[in-house]
Amino acid sequence: MSFSRRALLSVDWRLLAAAAGLAALGVLIIYSTSGMHASLLRRSLYLKQATWMVIGLFAMALLCLFPYRTTWHIAYLFYGVLLAALLLVALLGRTGMGAQRWLSIGSFAIQPSEFMKLSLILLLARYFEDRREQLNAPRVFIVPILLTLLPAALVLRQPDLGTAIMLLLISASILIMMGLKIRWFVLLGAVGSAITPVLWHYLHDYQKNRILVFLYPDMDPMGAGYHVAQSKIAVGSGGLIGKGWMAATQSQLNFLPENHTDFVFAGLAEQGGFFGSLCLLLIYAYLLSRGLRLARDAHDLFTMVTSFGIVSMFAWQVVINIGMVTGIMPVVGIPLPLLSYGGSSMLMNMLAIGLLLSIQKSRYQY
Amino acid sequence: MSREREFSNYFAPFQKRIRVAAVVISAAILILVLRLWALQILEGDHLLQLSLNNRLRLRPVEAPRGLILDRNGQLMVENLASFDLYATPEDMPDVEEVTRRLADILQSSPDELRQRVSQRQGSQLDAVLLRKGVDGRIVTAVEEQKIDLPGVSLQVRPVRTYPNGGSAATLLGYVAEVSQAQLKSKEFRDFRSGETMGQAGIERRYDAFVRGVDGGEQIEVDALGRVSRLIQQVEPQSGFNLHLTLDNRLQRVAEEALQGKSGALIAVHPSTGEILAMVSQPSYDPNQFSQHLTPEQWRKLAADPHHPMQNKGLQGQYAPGSIFKLVTALAALEKGAITPETTFACDGTFSLGSHLFHDWKKGGHGTLNLRQAIANSCNIYFYNTALKAGIGEITRVARELGLGAPSGLGLGSEARGVIPPKTTGSPEAGGWYPGNTVMAGIGQGMVTVTPIQAVMMVSAIANGGTLYRPWVVRKVETLDRELIEEYGPELVRKVNIDPDNLAIVREGMQAVVNEGTGSRAKIPGLRVAGKTGTAQVVENSGSQRGDKRDHAWFVAFAPADNPQIAIAVVVEHGGFGGQVAAPIAKSLLEAWFQLPREPASVEVAAPAAAEGD
């Protein structure tokens, strides 16, 4: 059928290859830095990550098959469901075996919040498209701000500072692109810092503690300051061309307890050196430039906001994560998109790329 | 054409801002590149040296576990300081030399030490644990010869201590290192090798509350491996304290009474389900696990025929013997098969088909009504009653009262006990015979119960028909007494048995103590209700190992009109329940009603003691 050939031709294969390549690279780094670990579980993580990559690629392909506009229809529903899921996590976290939840907070608690990033982008895209004639009135921004703060507060309460920050940054980027003046953010910040002590009052002691540890990583028992010192050594010791495959002594050892998630870049930089790091940044830059081009050439606000939102999500994560690993940004739990270990974030990032591909394809068809 | 221009005008400001964003992103990536340049090219050689010669060490500092206190705030589990000896081979310029010196101090072979040092697992930078809990002499010697022992260090560690030794040991549990097998399972993925955790009982179940958050020390070591600088220190956070419903004084009395025997005793508050005492004898000393458990000690514990590590109250399944007659009586009353006035004549034997069943008393009891039958535990009466009630109704009543199902205490794997199925096959199909019903009616044959089931059953009879879930942890508090979690009575069900029938059985139970088989539990001034049981031990394997005497049971509650405590005692191979188990329950009751007490934790306050003494 000529349709399928046209459809295949219209797929941006280079963008797809860049995304798949990044994910595969992530699996390789996780594999190559797991050798010395005592825990069998850690040693098998690369297999899980590979599984998630394949699942993600399928999801991406599936998304490509549907007409792009279907996402417009489900944008609000998607957001509503995820918000409910976040609420559920918050409630269960309270009534369940409190300390247990708090001690082992992690993988499953962050799942809905990860997808919330993408959902927020789609929500804002539809919202602004539906109100494209009213963008001059500042009050049109009130609802998006509230719809951002709500999930961000829930995520912060989990507590997952990194994802909460990401939600705020993604939303802020889109709002500024839509014409919200920067001075409004100053005002919002002032209001925010005024109500924080009130909210603080309602938290349990151990919740406060948890958030404090996030804000001041030095309070963390395992010492985030130690992580950064060690990760700088790992990155720097890679030199110009790196120590070579499987030779990342620094990242392999227990110096970096998070060496497969937030500090995965250190493993690449140690093995691949400056050269390898530069290649990685170039791939990200290519990916971002494709997205920015889609946003620039968009014929409708929904497409424009979606692609710009996805670009901002990737850009912020890359910059903050690598900045954190190289010691020029504070340590907050923000993973490197497509590379860091994590099932839900892999799936979410693949879906985001799938959206870009779908937008690209639909442009061809008009 | 004009539409096209309007269109591009509309998007123009957005496109301008997108271009600005592109510039900002490029700039940010450029900064990252410059940063990488600085780290990898400019500082590369220096950092490579550092990575080859990494001298930063992270040393975890174990958090003290929370305390465990009884209902009156008396300490049951605490922590004491202990010194552990560690070695870091990377920091030893000459492993031979250091291990030889160390062997002198420890008075052990240098070969064994060298082997331990070289035989490390996991991360290469964790120090190797050489000796746990070394004594004061070794601590002093190592400190004195520090200069000659590079790479050797002492660390202080809180050690779980049970001041009462084996008291309530199977209930409290013990603390030990996470095993290699546990480390491999997903449940334990957050645990480090060598980390300690609760391994049984309350310590295990409430580990997440009790464990606390470990701290850490970031230290720099010099070329000889000695700590040269403490870079950063994070204080460990102590775990949460547990307040139990247990009364330590009652617990001690109960243990005293069961001393030298093998068996279990449980005392609960019948109208809340709070556990007041829980004894399983013989016991073991959980302190052994906190320190270093030697292989011989472990072998001895594991091979002991009396299973000291087992909580017999939860895991021991025993034929209930005559305490099951309470169930049979209730079943017959429920079915309307008998009334309290129904009499049967007992001449010492009962024939069913070709089978002859005997009473425990030669010559029989004569003619008895229900009250007298319970009081004297007449087998013949209950053979008749069981047949009239039928196994279906007996099973229903047993299950209503919580038999045949775990009580829900939630500590470790609890045995279910055995209750005959509701629908039993016909004799023709090789299933249930009337003879089975007769045996079940007196608690023999295909019936077993655990002591916790027995005590919860008696509680339900005592409180007029409410089956509670037993519970032992009252509340969880932080060190600063901030409440984390609070627990209260929990209903399993309102028992579907006529309260009048329960009252009839309670009458019978009073008669047991006043004039019947349980008279050794009689206390002047206190109305005690009870039931004795003597469960035959079936030796079907032909093995003559151990004692063949019967298990002795006694269940009781008091005061009969306003129950404040319910007790179940079982003494393995103890003999007659009335002779062996009843006096144990008596001493416990005496102690309980003489003990000065704080007002009970839950709504049922205790004016009770008035009737005692």
pLDDT per residue over B313-349, tens digit each?
999 999 999 999 999 999 999 999 899 999 998 888 8
Count of C-beta atoms within a 10 Å radius of residue A145 = 17
Residues of B in contact with A235 (CB under 8 A): 36, 39-40, 47
Average pLDDT (A24-50) is 77
Per-residue pLDDT band at A102 (split at 50, 70, 90): very low
Task: Identify whether residues B405 and B451 lie together within a single domain.
Answer: yes
Over the Cα atoms of chain B, what is R_g? 33
Contact A221 B11 (CB under 8 A): no
Q: Is residue B304 part of a domain?
A: no
Q: What helix, strand, coil percent values describe chain B, rounded to 5?
A: 40, 25, 40
Q: Letter for the amino acid at B451?
A: P
* Nearest-angstrom CA–CA distance, A345 and A335: 8
- Sign of the CA dihedral running A189, A193, A195, A196: positive
- Whether the per-residue pLDDT at A167 is higher than 90: the answer is yes
CA B299 to chain centre: 22
Q: Which domain holds residue B209?
A: 56-244
Does the pLDDT value for residue B18 go beyond 90?
Answer: yes
Q: At what angle do helices A224-237 and B44-52 cross, to 10 degrees?
A: 120
Q: Is the pLDDT of residue B485 over 80?
A: yes
What pLDDT, on the 0 to 100 scale, is given for residue B194?
A: 67
Contact B552, B245 (CB under 8 A): no
Chain A nearest CA to B11, separation (Å): 8
Helix or strand (DSSP H, E) at B61: strand B56-61
- Between CA A252 and CA A242 the distance in angstroms is 14
Phi/psi at B227 (nearest 5 deg)? -65, 120
Top pLDDT among B506 and A227 is at: B506
* Proportion of chain A above pLDDT 90, given as a percent: 42
* Model pLDDT, residue B611: 28
Q: Say what the pLDDT of residue A269 is.
A: 93
pLDDT at res. A83: 92
B216 or B153, greater pLDDT? B153
Q: Which residues of B touch A232 (CB under 8 A)?
A: 39, 47
Q: Do B236 and A288 touch (CB under 8 A)?
A: no
Is B121 close to A38, i.e. CB distance below 8 A? yes
pLDDT digits (tens, 9 = 90+) for B65-93: 999 999 998 999 998 888 888 887 766 77
| pLDDT score of B193 | 63
Q: For residue A69, what pLDDT band results from cuts at 50, 70 and 90?
A: confident
Model pLDDT, residue B503: 93
Average pLDDT (B253-265) is: 91
Write the CA distances from A151 to A145, A163, A212, B184, integer angstroms. 11, 10, 20, 36
**Residue at which a domain ends, from B52, B71, B91:** B52
Are residues B85 and B146 both part of a single domain?
Answer: yes
DSSP-assigned letter for residue B322? G
How many other C-beta atoms can be found within 10 angstroms of the C-beta atom of residue B327? 31
Write out the DSSP string of B489-558.
Answer: --EEEE--S-HHHHHHHHHHHHHHHHHSTTGGG-BTTB--EEEEEEEPPP--S----S--SPEEEEEEEE
The CB density around residue B537, as the number of other CB atoms within 10 Å, is 15
Q: Is residue B289 part of a domain?
A: no
| Residue that wins the pLDDT comparison between B216 and B380 | B380
Distance CA B397, CA A17 (A): 69
Do residue A226 and residue B37 have CB atoms under 8 angstroms apart?
no
Give residue for tokens 């708090």.
Answer: A102
Query: Same domain, yes or no, for B507 and B535?
Result: yes
Q: Which of A39, A178, A319 sits opposite B32 (nearest CB)?
A: A319
Cβ–Cβ under 8 Å, residues A288 and A314: yes
Query: Which residue blocks in B178-324 are alpha helix, DSSP H?
Result: 180-184, 201-205, 207-210, 248-258, 287-290, 295-303, 312-315
Distance (Å, whole) CA B263 – CA B571: 4
A343-365 vs A45-65: helix crossing angle, rounded to 10: 20
Lowest-confidence range among B48-62, B337-351, B385-399, B491-505?
Answer: B48-62
Average pLDDT of the residues in B212-241: 70
On whether the CB atoms of residues B555 and B461 are closer than 8 A, the answer is no
Same-domain status, B262 and B398:
yes
Mean pLDDT of B155-162: 85
Domain presence at residue B395? yes
Within a domain: residue B398?
A: yes
Domains of chain B: total: 3
Give the C-alpha separation, B430 to B420, whole Å.
Answer: 15
Average pLDDT, chain A: 81
Cβ–Cβ gap A236/B44 under 8 Å: yes
Assess contact for A321 and A336: CB atoms under 8 A: yes
Give pLDDT tens digits for B94-153.
778 888 888 888 888 888 777 777 765 444 456 777 887 788 888 888 888 888 888 788
* Nearest CB partner across the interface for B14, out of A205, A278, A304: A304
What pLDDT, on a 0 to 100 scale, did the predictor assign at position B494? 92
Domain membership of residue B124 (yes or no) is yes
B596 within domain boundaries: yes
Confidence of residue B545 (pLDDT cuts 50, 70, 90): very low
Site of tokens 């937030």 = A262
**Helices A2-10, A343-365: crossing angle, 10 deg rounding:** 120
User: How much of chain B, in percent, has pLDDT values that exceed 90?
Assistant: 36
Q: Which two tokens stand for residue B405?
A: 């199902």
Is residue B330 within 8 Å of residue B385, measured between CB atoms? no
Q: In sequence order, what are the residues at sequence separation of 6 or more whose Cβ sits closer than 8 angstroms to the Cβ of residue B548?
A: B537, B539, B573
Who has greater pLDDT, B547 or B10?
Answer: B10
Q: What integer pLDDT is reported at residue B123 of this predicted model? A: 45
- Quote the pLDDT of residue A134: 87
Q: How much is the pLDDT for B505?
A: 93
- In tens, the pLDDT along B391-403 reads 889 999 999 999 9
Are B62 and B39 members of one domain? no
Selecting from B122, B234, B485 the residue whose C-beta is nearest the C-beta of A223 gives B234
User: DSSP label at B578?
Assistant: I
Q: Rounded distance, CA A179 to CA A135, Å?
A: 8
Question: In angstroms, rounded to a whole number, what is the distance separating the alpha carbons of residues B402 and B465?
Answer: 11
Single out the residue in B244, B263, B291 at which a domain terminates: B244
Q: What is the CATH number of the domain that holds B323?
A: 3.40.710.10
* Over residues B25-43, mean pLDDT: 94
Q: Are residue B453 and residue B566 in the same domain, yes or no?
A: yes
Per-residue pLDDT at B427 exceeds 70:
no
Q: What is the pLDDT at residue B425? A: 60
Q: Report pLDDT for B55.
A: 60
Q: Of chain A residues 311-330, which have a CB less than 8 A from chain B?
A: 311-312, 315, 318-319, 322-323, 326, 328
Contact between residue B486 and residue B499 where contact means Cβ atoms under 8 Å apart: no
Facing B36 at nearest CB: one of A98, A103, A326: A326
pLDDT, chain B, mean: 83
**Residue among A221, A274, A292 whose CB faces B18 most closely:** A292
Could you give the CA distance from residue B7 to residue A31 in angstroms, rounded to a whole number? Answer: 51
Q: Do residue A225 and residue B232 have CB atoms under 8 angstroms apart?
A: yes
pLDDT score of B595? 64
Alpha-carbon gap, residue A268 to A22, rounded angstroms = 11
Please check whether residues B137 and B65 belong to one and the same domain. Answer: yes
| Statement to judge: residues B61 and B114 lie in one domain | yes
Average pLDDT over residues A35-57: 76
Full DSSP string of B357-370: EE-SSTT--EEE-H
pLDDT at A347: 92
Q: What is the mean pLDDT of residues B2-30?
A: 85
Nearest C-alpha neighbor of B270 from the set B117, B461, B447, B127:
B461
Boundary of a domain, candidates B194, B216, B244: B244
Enclosing H/E stretch for B68? strand B68-69
Q: What is the mean pLDDT of residues B505-534?
A: 91
Distance from CA of A153 to the nearest CA of B (A): 23
- Average pLDDT in the A244-259 region? 65
Chain B residues touching residue A36 (CB < 8 angstroms): 123-124
Co-location of B272 and B413 in the same domain = yes
Q: What is the mean pLDDT of residues A154-161?
A: 78
Outline where DSSP puts E strands in B353-420: 355-358, 366-368
Residue A105 phi/psi, 5-degree rounding, is -60, 140
Both B262 and B239 in a single domain?
no
The whole-number pLDDT of residue A226 equals: 65
pLDDT for B230-244, tens place per residue? 666 777 888 899 999
State ipTM: 0.90
Confidence (pLDDT) at B188 = 67
Whether residue A212 lies within 8 A of chain B, CB to CB, comes out as no
- For B164-303, list the strands marked E by DSSP: 175-177, 196-198, 215-221, 227-234, 241-244, 263-268, 275-281
Is residue A343's pLDDT more than 90? no
In a shared domain, residues B226 and B265: no
Whether residues B372 and B444 share a domain: the answer is yes
| Residue A16: HSE in the Cβ half-sphere, 13 Å Cα cutoff | 21
The residue-averaged pLDDT of A5-27 equals 87
Residue B29 lies in a domain: yes
Pairwise pLDDT comparison (B445 vs B557), residue with the higher score: B557
Taking CA atoms, what residue in B is nearest to A266?
Answer: B36
- The whole-number pLDDT of residue B463 equals 93
Chain A from 165 to 194: CB within 8 A of any B CB: 173, 176-179
Confidence tier at A221 by pLDDT (50, 70, 90):
very low
Instruction: Please state the rounded mean pLDDT for residues B149-175.
Output: 87
Residues B41-62 have a mean pLDDT of: 75
Q: Grade residue A210 by pLDDT with cuts at 50, 70 and 90.
A: low
If contacts are CB pairs under 8 Å, which of residues 74-133 in chain A contact chain B? 97-100, 103-104
